[in-house]
Structure formats: C-alpha cells, structure tokens
Amino acid sequence: MATRYWMASLPVQSSASTVWGQLQDSISKQSFDTPLYRFNVPNLRVGTLDSLLSLADDLLKSNAFVEGATQKIRRQIDELEKSSGVDAGSLTVDGVPIDSYLTRFVWDEAKYPTMSPLKETVDGIHSFVAKVEDDLKVRVAEYNNVRSQLSAINRKQTGSLAVKDLSNLVKPEDIVSSEHLVTLLAVVSKYSQKDWLSSYETLTDYVREISELGLVVVAADSDVSKALHDVVVVVLQPCRRHGGAKVPRSSKKLHEDNEYALYTVTLFNRVADNFRIKARERGFQVRDFEYNSETQDSRKEELEKLVHDQEAMRSSLLQWCYSSYGEVFSSWMHFCAVRVFTESILRYGLPPSFLACVLAPSQKSEKKVRSILERHCGSANSVHWKAEEEVGPMAGLAGEADTHPYVSFTINLV
C-alpha cells in the first residue's frame, strides 16, 4: 500500500472523459509504475468569489489540523498495538481499507449535503475532528494514568533493594515488634556487608544496654507462633558470659541482589530513631517497613485490579481509535474534496470544469509525472501561470513548497 499520494486537478476544455483518457495513456506509457485514480468531486455550492478567497485561507489552516489529528490517532493505534504485541491489520473506513477509500472516494451526501455552503461544510468537519481529538486526549490521559500507577508498582517489584517493595521478601517471623523492641530493615551495599556486620552493634547504646542486662533476643518456635495465631513471641533469655559481655547477634540477612543486601536488626524502640541517623551517616539505608497481612493482601488486590484495568482500558481505547480513525479519515477526504474543488475554481475559473485525480508516484518518477501533468494542463494556462509566477502573485493556494500550473497537494497516510 502506498502511503504518499498526490491529489491534483487539471482544467477541462471540452470533455472530462477525454482529458482522463489522455492522462491515463500518458501515465501508462511514460510512467507505467505510477498508480492513477480518478477522484470524483460532486458539484458543490460555489457561493461568491469573495467567499471562495476567504475559504482558501481557512483551508490551509484547517488542513494541517485535520491531517494532524488523523495522524495522532494512527500513532496512538501503533503504540497500543506495539504494547500488546498484536497487529490488528489495516485501518479501514466502514470496512474499506483507507487506501481504497481514498482511491475510490464517494461523497457522503447524507452527512455533507452538497447544497450546504462550503464554509459550513469545512467548519462542520473542523468541529467534528476537534471533538474527536479532545475525546482522544481524555481517554489517553486516563489510560496513561493507570499505566503510570502500574509502572510505579512494577518498578518497586523489579528494582534494587533500595527502592523495591520488600513485602515479598520479609516474613512475619523475621519481624519483632513489641512494646520495647522493634526490628528495622537495613539495605547495605553488597561490598559493605563486612562493615555492616562489624559496626551495626556499636551505632547506638542498645547493645551495651542489652549486654549489661545479660539478655539476648531469641525468635519464637514456629509451632508456638502458629498456636498463638501467628503472633511473634519475643523471649528474653539470660546471656552466658565468658570473661566479659557477649554481644548479641540480632542482624540477619534476608535477601541479596546484584547491588545490595537486606539485613534485619532488632533493637530497643527508644533508640530506633538514633540508629537510623547513625546508619545513614555510615552509608546504610534503613527502609521504612511495617508488616501487615491485611496491607499485603490489599496491595496484591490493587495490583491485580490495575493489571485488569490497564488491559480493559487498552482494549477499549484501541477499539475507539479504530472507529474514530475511520470517521476522521473519512472527514479528511471530504475536506480534501472541498479543497481541490475550491482551489480548482480559483485556479481555472467559473463555471467549475476540471478533472480531479489521485496519483502515487515513486520518488524516482516524481519529476516525470510532474512534467506529464503540466503538459495536460494546457499550454495557455501553463504559460500564464509561469508569467504570473515571475511577478509574485498570490499563487500556490495549496500551500505546497513547489508551485505548479495545476492544483496539486500531497496526502500522507502515515
């Protein structure tokens, strides 16, 4: 499928069928690889010359907006398909592939009555496309909001121990929490573990105070914990001395990744804040963590809901984009029909007598096709256009970078 087309119109002196036959013959002989299609423009309501001149200015601005909105929806479709790993196939307008809709265009009289003023038709197309674009912004914002929430959770699940969610790594039996004791979780650089093990007991006075009491923290037996409804039992036992105070070893490594190791440390509640400060000064990160089974279940449910919501919204947004793209593309083609009609009258005069066509030349054939179109434009019109071009008239209403003695503008489907 071609993605870049030219829409052009040539003046008709006698019969449009004759001009069409001659153009087909020239293209087939001199540029046989260039697809050529007739573009059927109905007899639209002309109005006054002043209204056409005023409309021509609006067409340039509106075309950029309508084309931009069409491409924006298409890019959104590509992004959604890429994220899901599914290619739904070609885009359509009421089941007709967009390239076929363009090359076999039929004006929708019911939607855009030909007797309506051209400005009314253009304004109607502009308003409709603007409404669709606003709707797209709202839907995409809602979808991206859910994606952002899910991405934030996934980052916590897959990041390093410094940022990831610790709930899946910490078990109830790893945590001591009572009126006097608390367990903190410290994130230690993988290469600083020896430093941690040799220094954590001296960061505050809790070790000294515990050793003076001759006590050490011992975890409860798991069977006892179950019997007591999973409540962690803290047992304080006298510490055996051998010639001096024995230092309690309350730190235990729970997990290690490529960068960090996660350690627990149990201490008195009243020195916990001071321990955090001292640990930070030594380069150890104490993570805020509170084990709560209800919170864990709630987080799991939230994650499942976000995953479900994201997929549902992605599917809904994709279907909406497919449908809206077809409607906006159809409006764009009707807009192009109004544009070629208006510019042909301003270029060739009244009454309307021109042949509109669509071509898809390859890059190497463009110069040759331009030459063919210019020859079929008529020598008088071509010479007149070149003469005006020299004195700098208000030419090139199509807004193209190159000016030609015939109406021509480009349609980019992608």
pLDDT in tens, 264-279: 998 888 899 999 999 9
Q: Which helix (H) or strand (E) is 217 found in, with range?
A: strand 215-219
Which strands form 407-412's sheet, in the order they lie side by side? 36-38, 354-359, 4-11, 407-412
Residue 395 has pLDDT above 60, yes or no: no
260-268 and 181-189 strand pairing? antiparallel
**pLDDT for 14-68, tens place per residue?**
899 999 999 999 999 999 999 999 999 999 998 888 889 989 888 988 999 999 9
Among residues 263, 295, 251, 267, the alpha carbon closest in space to that of 190 is found at 263
State the amino acid at position 412 in one-letter form: N
SS3 117: strand
Residue 212 has pLDDT above 70, yes or no: no
**pLDDT for 152-170, tens place per residue?**
877 777 778 888 878 778 8
How many Cβ atoms are within 10 Å of 59's Cβ, its own excluded? 26
Among residues 209, 45, 29, the alpha carbon closest in space to that of 115 is found at 45
pTM: 0.72
**Rounded Cα–Cα distance for residues 2 and 198 (Å):** 71
4-11 and 181-189 strand pairing? unpaired
**Rounded Cα–Cα distance for residues 234 and 173 (Å):** 10
Q: Provide mean pLDDT across the span 191-204.
A: 89
**pLDDT for 76-132, tens place per residue?**
999 999 887 766 668 999 999 999 999 999 999 999 999 999 999 999 999 999 999
Query: Which residues make beta-bridge pairs with 410?
Result: 6
How many Cβ atoms are within 10 Å of 272's Cβ, its own excluded? 17
